[in-house]
Structure 1
């Protein structure tokens, strides 16, 4: 049985996210993220776009995109990941270099 990585955290670090994905992948368990429509923001829970920005900034530095890319490629090759992380990484770099805020999805 997999060890419990994420307890009752509102925000998890990138290290916890990568560790959770690695752990889940190694023991065939699944998880999902449930992000609200913004109503939680007034309760102190960051919006999805803010979490995305934080996670991408952290992933870029530690553990680094190389490790994340390896895990994502393995998940993608096993049909456990819909998106190609290389595309996500390129979109992040374009956003980061533009200095614009991450746009909110309708």
Structure 2
């Protein structure tokens, strides 16, 4: 199988603050990548978190055929509080196809 999904159909849910994944192998499945409940959608079984300022790394444990990891960070400039307070963040999302289908 492909190690990473390249151009595959894995759209993000449009509801704010509730990212998720959708797969259709072997049957359609939706997984929410958060722990709060959302009617009709099974959440990730566990979210592993490792925070090391200013970076947070999350590994979403699900039974979906897609492995999901997120690395998020904010700008940090040592000794510069003004620039470090820039209102923004970077989200690096890693998807890995764990199935035999593309």
- What TM-score do you get using the length of structure 1 for normalisation? 0.19
| Greater C-alpha Rg | 2
Q: Which has the higher strand share?
A: 2
